[in-house]
Structures are given as structure tokens and as C-alpha cells.
A and B are shown apart, each in its own frame.
Chain A
């Protein structure tokens, strides 16, 4: 069955870095892009970034552009999110979600992981 498992969350000081991972199984990984979506405590969902199935395109929310970097390793069916220069406002649960890609675009999240919690605090 389809599985997405996030890891790497934790408590980190402002200005430091953290690397999240999303391990995928149960589907043809190379067919799907991967979104990251976050949810601050008590708040709604915020889209963060997307990497296409072939890694050719990456998109970021303005709030993380220049600080976060998404990458994928198809040999390990894994997507990573490198988060640098972390801010208090990056505190959230981070979800990865797969998205079907085809016809020159990727689509909406259609299956979600359970999330990993990131707390940025001094």
C-alpha cells in the first residue's frame, strides 16, 4: 500500500538548520512529484514546496524561498527538505504528499504522510 513517512523533525534554535526526509513506498516513485505542506500550531495548511517527478522543476512559497531546498533521490525513493536559517515562524508540522505528474505539469496532493513536527525556539 502507499506509504509516505516523514522524519527529521525536532527542536532547533533560530538561525540553525534541519533536514527533513520523506520516504515513499507502495507506488512508482518516478511517476510522482512530492509536495511539502506545513501547519503551524492551531493554524491552517500552508503549501511550502514541490519537486516534480523527474526533479526538473522545483517551486517554493515566498516565505521559504532562499532558505529551504527540496531534492529527491530516486534510488532511495526519498525526498529531502533542507531548511536553513530557520525562524520561529517556521514552527509547524510538516507533511509530505505525493502528486501525480503528467502532461507537462504536476497536480494536487493526493496522498499524505503523517507529518513530522518542527519547533524553532531559543
Chain B
């Protein structure tokens, strides 16, 4: 199975900050990398697919970069609604696997 390692597991930030979350795959995943946001008590929401393409309706303050095994999610100018847990997922090979999550806190 492909292991997905996210870092950090949590971070503290303030409104207006720029934050970056890292996701590393245990092998090349051909950019088959997605990012999800999950607010407390809510279902996940899809943000990015193909490592860098925003899902429809996702604001441009979210951006994804990377290739091969190393990927990042950047959120520019954090707003109160952005405080949530973020997950990466590879969908190159079955079983699909998620990173452990990054909780973005105030």
C-alpha cells in the first residue's frame, strides 16, 4: 500500500496568515493527489485534484503544488472558515490512502 505522510499534524495560525501543509507519498503517484477540508462535525469537502487543479467553486486562496512524491497545499490569507482539518489522498493505486490529517487551529 502507498503510505501518505502529512506534516505538520497540527498548526496554530491567525486570520490573514499564509499556511502550507505538506504531504509525502511512499512512492510516485503520478500527480493523482487530492486535498480535502473537513470542518468539525461536517462531511469532508473536496478542494483539489490532480495535485493542483481546484474543484469547481473552490476559492483561489487554496493552491496545490508538487509532483512525484512531494506535494503541498497552501492557503493564503486564512479566514475564520478555513480553520479545519485538511487531508491529502492518493488515488493512483488501490487501496486509496489518506494522510493522517493536519488540523489548522487559531
Contact = CB atoms under 8 A, between A and B. Distances in A.
Q: How large is the interface on A (under 10, 10 to 19, 20 to 34, 35 or more residues)?
A: 20 to 34
User: Main SS of the interface on chain A?
Assistant: strand
A108 B49 contact: yes
A44 B44 CA distance: 11
Interface in B77-99: 87, 89, 91, 94-99
A59 B94 contact: yes
B87 A44 contact: yes
Interface stretch (A18-26, A71-79, A82-90, A111-119): A111-119
A45 B44 CA distance: 9
A110 interface: yes
Given A95-B43, A113-B43, A108 B34 contact: yes
Given A95-B43, A108-B46, A110-B55, 13 more contacts: A44-B100, A45-B36, A45-B87, A47-B89, A47-B95, A50-B96, A108-B89, A110-B46, A111-B46, A112-B43, A112-B46, A114-B43, A115-B43
